[in-house]
């Protein structure tokens, strides 16, 4: 049983580390935050349900990130190689628009979205979290997550089209 919890913690920690890097944390800070999150999870292990572990750890890590950087919003740092993983965002817009050459265009449009929408799109499409998990992380109802994601996709599409990318 102990080994299973360790594996679960480490699996979630890897995902959290990647997420922290994507939102702009320095590698060393991401390592520290991830380590602190694991320690806090171990301390609170008996209070956390297994099915809520990942969302709980994300919430702890994000709060620690905010307090470390004294920010109220996320700064997303994306590299061209990472953008292939974000391509499902546009499946709701027009799936045939994105090819590997359009990765820079995707980055440009994503960076123009408000920070909340960037965060939602990354949590849903890059981190592949469920609506429920995103709601638990952000402290909002699942229905609100769906609504906000719909708005994020709509804004993404509008910016995409305003830049003329839909015509290519």
Give Cα separations from 22 to 42, 84, 110, 141 (angstroms). 25, 14, 13, 25
Residue 135, token pair as written in the block: 């709601």
The whole-angstrom separation of Cα 66 and Cα 25 is: 10
The whole-angstrom separation of Cα 94 and Cα 91 is: 5
Residue 84, token pair as written in the block: 């292939």
Q: What is the pLDDT of residue 31?
A: 94
Q: Where are the CATH 1.10.1740 domain residues in the chain? A: 2-69
CATH code at 2-69? 1.10.1740
| pLDDT greater than 60 at residue 37 | yes
User: Does the pTM exceed 0.85?
Assistant: no
> pLDDT > 70: what percent of the chain?
76
Assigned superfamily of 80-167: PhyR, sigma-like (SL) domain (1.20.140.160)
Q: Where are the CATH 1.20.140.160 domain residues in the chain? A: 80-167
The whole-angstrom separation of Cα 48 and Cα 140 is: 19
* Neighbour tally for 85: CB within 10 Å: 15
Q: What is the pLDDT of residue 72?
A: 42
């Amino acid at each position: 049983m102990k080994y299973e919890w360790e594996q679960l913690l480490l699996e979630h920690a890897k995902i959290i580390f990647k997420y922290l890097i994507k939102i702009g944390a320095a590698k060393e800070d991401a390592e520290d935050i991830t380590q602190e999150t694991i320690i806090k999870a171990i301390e609170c292990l008996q209070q956390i349900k297994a099915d809520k572990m990942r969302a709980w750890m994300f919430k702890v890590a994000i709060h620690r990130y905010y307090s470390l950087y004294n920010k109220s919003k996320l700064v997303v740092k994306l590299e061209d190689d990472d953008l292939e993983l974000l391509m499902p965002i546009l499946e709701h817009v027009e799936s045939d628009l994105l090819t590997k050459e359009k990765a820079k265009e995707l980055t440009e449009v994503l960076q123009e979205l408000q920070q909340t929408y960037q965060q939602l799109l990354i949590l849903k499409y890059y981190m592949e979290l469920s609506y429920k998990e995103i709601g638990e992380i952000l402290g909002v109802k699942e229905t609100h997550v769906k609504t906000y994601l719909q708005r994020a996709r709509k804004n993404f599409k509008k910016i995409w089209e305003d830049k003329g990318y839909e015509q290519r």
